[in-house]
Amino acid sequence: MYEITKRIENLLGTLQNEINSDEIVIHDIQMKKLGMNERATFLEDETGYQSFKTGDRFGELDQHYCFKATICPPKDFVGKRVVLQLKTGATDIWNTDNPQFILYIDKKMLCALDMNHYECVLSEQAENREYHIALYAYTNTSQKDVALDLKVAVQHKEVQKLYYDLLVPFETAALLKDSNDLKFDMLKAINDTMNLIDFRVVPSDGFYHSICKARDYFQENFYEKMCKANDVTVYSVGHTHIDIAWKWRVRQTKEKAIRSFSTVLYLMDRYPEYKFMSSQPILYQFVKEEEPELYEKIKERVKEGRWETEGAMWLEADCNLSSGESLIRHIMYGKKFFKDEFGKKDNVILWLPDVFGYSAALPQILKKSGIKYFMTTKIGWNEYNKIPNDTFLWKGIDGSEILTYFITTRDYMTDPELNKNPDISTTYNGLQNPSQIMGTWQRFQNKDLTKDVLTCYGYGDGGGGTTPKMLEQSKRLIKGIPGCPTVKQTFAREFFEKLEANLAGKQIPKWCGDLYLEFHRGTYTSMGRNKKNNRKMEFALMTTEFFQTLAFIKDTSFAYAKEELEQAWKLLLLNQFHDILPGSSIKEVYEDSDIDYQKIDDITTKLSNQALQVIGMNLDYQESKENIIFVWNPLSMVRNETICLPKGIKNVAHHGKKLVTQYSEEGYLCHVANIPANGYTVLTCLKERENEIALVNESDIKEFETKYYKVCFNEVGELSSLFDKTAEREILRDGVCSNQLLVYEDRPYEFDAWNIDSFYKEKCYPVNEVLSWSVQQGELQTKVLCKKRFLDSTIQQEIIFYTNSKRIDFHTNVDWKQEQLLLKAKFALDIETTKATCDIQFGNIVRNTHKNTSWEKAQFEVCAHKWVDLSEASYGVALINDCKYGYSFEESDISITLIKSGIFPYADADKQMHEFTYSLYPHEGDFRGGRVVQTAYEQNVPCKVILQPAYIDAKEFSLFGELPDHVILESIKKAQDSDEIILRFYEAYGKRGKVNLDVNQLSAKGAWLCSMLEEKETNLLIHENQINFEIRPYEIITMSIER
């Protein structure tokens, strides 16, 4: 069998070489360099071209070129299929920096060309005329090393058909064990067919005549007699994964979409059975703006039922770091785009092949957004543990369940039992060959539940997509090759509906909680500046919507800025793509991101100020000599806050009572109690009375007391003791200091910006060099100022102990100049627990702090949003932050990851100024009794303090009054398509309860429970301006109120 196998392999190589003949190299090529925005005009602009000769090279980073040539096929080409070939010298098929081209024939876009799509049909029946060729080229290489070898050739269709007819069963047979009779039968059929081919003179008329005879024989004796549908079907979806940014900027992604989609349309013309899906609405938006004619062709294919627009989210967003409200907006805008542009009734699949972990809040978000199914493949990249099912019901923190499927595409292993440590990874960039079709079924773990499995095929990450080779192989695989699952060209939705039917009445496994990816843990921290901007702008947008909505409530003639808010949200969502927000893109991506975040900041600032001006104009007021200060609270909980007064204001009163103020460099501080929820209170400015301003004493002491604590620092500025005077207990573990700033060598095995490997703890360097130390003690707060040095970097901290709060803030400024070093702050707590509660979108999850199992060991770095908490039954400590996401636990120790500083793909990532705050918050009871949720919101959303030169009669205002502690009103906005008011609540404690909502300020006429897409579902009664409703543990409730 070995000899026959080698013979067939050799002869297949001969056939492949004879598919094309009579190659002609094109020498007369003209080239010019283009600017970024010249694609639209380069076809008409004939100026500036220079000769590009054989052997010349081109290429730069992020650069465009145009090439032109004219081809006149010789007479012996006329009437035959003529192909154009382009090669650049690139050899790595997965290198996303390979040059890419858009091909124009006679000034009409045909398709894209790249390393994997290097050939296209110039004409099915060539004419004896000139063909004008233009290539719009993009390079992203640091060297001028790209060749341009352009050829035309005659393609022999019958040779090509026979080659693929034989190749597919041969590749299948090669994967079967020698003991399998099917292998012998297939190799015999192929070998018999090879014996019918006249290889004496290649090429020759005798050779071509024998090709037709051999193909007829193989069709009859193999495909008709030996092939039949297998019990197992691999549903195959044509696909290309396009990263919105990564090693290229967003502006280049627009061209990647054009290239990829033009190739899809070209292949659809050639392969009627080909079906394709693309999941990200933003890509269609790019094409619509950049190439309207191409976009209309896409719409035609969608209408024909050959192109699937499915996927739900505006783009494939990071699901660890994005807020819950952001994830909802992704689905809202994504579904709306597909509905408006393609008339699609609904999207039912969340398609996220390449995202770095999946929050336990997602099942409920999906279910309440009309999403029935979820697909990913990235979870197959787990470092240590394989999730035991590939299809199951994924159960979220509230009990919602979503039918989930992991694509299992990978190469087939003939002898898997011989591999003691098999690679469990799978891919979303399938090749549609026998190995991966067989491997998809082999890797699938739930064979007892269904014999229908899913693959998506096509080159991706940088786009490109399906190739002619894939489609040629698929045509044969559809026929049912012996020993290989049958292939079916399909859409994702068709597969999921079939899967759901297959599972009906069966015991379906479940997975509860988050889908933690045991990989890419560094993405919780990389590019800290970008993550800070994201957090700040998420809250800025929700705050702005609150102010805009309140202005509309106060004055119905107010024009709610729907379009500008949507523009700002979409900029935010763009930068939540799963290689932007995680910090795994190139430098230029973050320069663009900074510009986007500044635009969002400008929009939210402008719109908030406009709304607040309208609100002020609709309040009763009378002129007065005294200024007043609005203290706005956008949050849904009553709060007590130490605020900074406007510049020049030193003395104020609240409810007629003079407040103590304390000097700070930013402005005078005062503490304001009972600031109404979703509203404001008013301070009255008083004439200066210096004796009423609290003095600040400065010293260099290491031990002192505050209202709540006895505090002791050691000689290197770490907390050595923190005694809670109220609870009468030590907070820190005996003999171990806290707020230890620790630096670890961070040199992961691969994926530098993405990964933190478990061995990072092998070497640790404490930050112990203290440059300066002082303590400022005042009546409202005591502030410790500590400056440290580590190598070339400096770390300055203001450690603030408040008189009116147990929260201790560590406001930190870092000038970081190091690379591949990881900075953490560690707290060793005297808390006896094995559980940590971690804040996530719309709730929280509990993680073990021990390492009993391999699953727990793998979670040595985890993601949380605003807080994590370790608690005993009656006492606990939370660690709160304003822009960080990475944490680690070791029994009762908590560490927060502050800076990562990887060097690829951005060499200077995180080597910059950092400003952030993390806070230690000891409390009575667990996180519920200690009001950790509320305290974390207060740290992240400061009060808005506004000086008003008039005396307002209304002393304070609350839109809805105070809600139960466990209910958070996250979002207040105007409805997407009406003048109704949308409220989004969630339950934060895992507690059932009744809620009484006061809607007196709204003059409400009607109220409904809605889907997250604002579709009305259940009518609510309004009685005496009250709406009563029930809320379940961790439930998210969306309500619409008509005025």
User: Could you report the per-residue pLDDT of 40-60, keeping only the tens digit for each?
Assistant: 888 888 899 999 998 999 999
Task: Quick: pLDDT tens for 866-885.
Answer: 999 999 999 999 999 999 99
Mean pLDDT across 833-840: 98
pLDDT over 70 percentage in the chain: 98
Per-residue pLDDT at 623 exceeds 80:
no
Task: Quick: pLDDT tens for 441-456.
Answer: 999 999 999 999 999 9
Peptide linkage before 905 cis (omega within 30 of 0): yes
Q: Comparing C-alpha atoms, which of 756, 806, 315 is closest to residue 569?
A: 315
Give the per-residue pLDDT at 950. Answer: 63
Band of pLDDT at residue 223, cut at 50, 70 and 90? very high
799 by Cβ neighbours in 10 Å (0-12 / 13-18 / 19+) ranks as buried
Q: How far apart are CA 489 and CA 481, in angstroms?
A: 15
CB 453 within 8 A of CB 441: yes
Q: For the domain 233-506, what is the CATH code?
A: 3.20.110.10
Give the per-residue pLDDT at 2. Answer: 85
DSSP assigned state of 841? T
Band of pLDDT at residue 93, cut at 50, 70 and 90? confident
Secondary structure element (H or E) that encloses residue 616, with its range? helix 587-617
What does DSSP say about strands 349-351 and 373-376: parallel, antiparallel, or unpaired?
parallel
Helix/strand/coil for 70: strand
Mean pLDDT across 350-363: 97
Per-residue pLDDT at 693 exceeds 70:
no
Mean pLDDT across 503-525: 98
Give the per-residue pLDDT at 690. Answer: 53
Give the per-residue pLDDT at 95. Answer: 80
Fold held by 697-940: Beta-galactosidase; Chain A, domain 5 (2.70.98)
Helix/strand/coil for 565: helix
Give the per-residue pLDDT at 288. Answer: 98
The residue behind tokens 């060749």 is: 147
Q: For the domain 963-1043, what is the CATH code?
A: 2.60.40.2220
Buried-exposed string 417-454: b where 16+ CB fall within 10 A, e elsewhere: eeeeeeebbbbbbbbbbbbbbbbbbbbbbbeebbebbb
Per-residue pLDDT at 662 exceeds 90:
yes
Give the per-residue pLDDT at 951. Answer: 59
Whether 621-691+945-952 and 963-1043 share one fold: the answer is yes
pLDDT over 90 percentage in the chain: 92
First to last CA, the chain: 81
Band of pLDDT at residue 419, cut at 50, 70 and 90? confident
Quickly list DSSP for 442-507.
Answer: HH-S-TTT-SEEEEEESB-BB--B--HHHHHHHHHHTT--TTSPEEEE--HHHHHHHHHHHHTTS-
Q: What is the dihedral sign for C-alpha 565, 570, 571, 572?
A: positive
Q: How far apart are CA 346 and CA 343, in angstroms?
A: 9
What does DSSP say about strands 944-948 and 307-309: parallel, antiparallel, or unpaired?
unpaired
Domain ranges of the chain: 2-11+159-223, 20-155, 233-506, 525-618, 621-691+945-952, 697-940, 963-1043
Give the per-residue pLDDT at 879. Answer: 98
Mean pLDDT across 337-345: 92
Per-residue pLDDT at 620 exceeds 70:
no
The residue behind tokens 């994005």 is: 322
Q: For the domain 621-691+945-952, what is the CATH code?
A: 2.60.40
Band of pLDDT at residue 550, cut at 50, 70 and 90? very high
Per-residue pLDDT at 691 exceeds 60:
no
137: amino acid identity, one letter: A
Q: Comparing C-alpha atoms, which of 131, 100, 148, 152 is closest to residue 263?
A: 100
CB 653 within 8 A of CB 673: no
Give the per-residue pLDDT at 418. Answer: 84
Query: 525-618 belongs to which homologous superfamily?
Result: Glycoside hydrolase family 38, central domain (1.20.1270.50)
Q: How far apart are CA 103 and CA 793, in angstroms?
A: 50
The residue behind tokens 């999207």 is: 347
Give the per-residue pLDDT at 345. Answer: 79
Mean pLDDT across 555-567: 96
CB 64 within 8 A of CB 138: yes
Count of alpha carbons within 13 angstroms of residue 684, beta-carbon side: 16
Mean pLDDT across 659-684: 95
Per-residue pLDDT at 692 exceeds 60:
no
Phi and psi at residue 453, to the nearest 5°: -125, 165
Mean pLDDT across 836-840: 98
Give the per-residue pLDDT at 420. Answer: 79
Residue ranges in 93-225 assigned as alpha helix (H): 157-175, 181-194, 205-218
Give the per-residue pLDDT at 97. Answer: 82
Quickly list DSSP for 500-546.
Answer: HHHHTTS---EEES-B--SS-GGGGTSSHHHHHHHHHHHHHHHHHHH
Band of pLDDT at residue 604, cut at 50, 70 and 90? very high
Q: Comparing C-alpha atoms, which of 680, 673, 669, 666 is closest to residue 630?
A: 680
CB 238 within 8 A of CB 279: no
What residues contact residue 63 under an 8 Å CB cut-off, 6+ apart? 33, 138, 139, 140
Task: Quick: pLDDT tens for 946-960.
Answer: 998 765 666 789 999
Q: For the domain 20-155, what is the CATH code?
A: 2.60.120.260
Per-residue pLDDT at 1010 exceeds 80:
yes
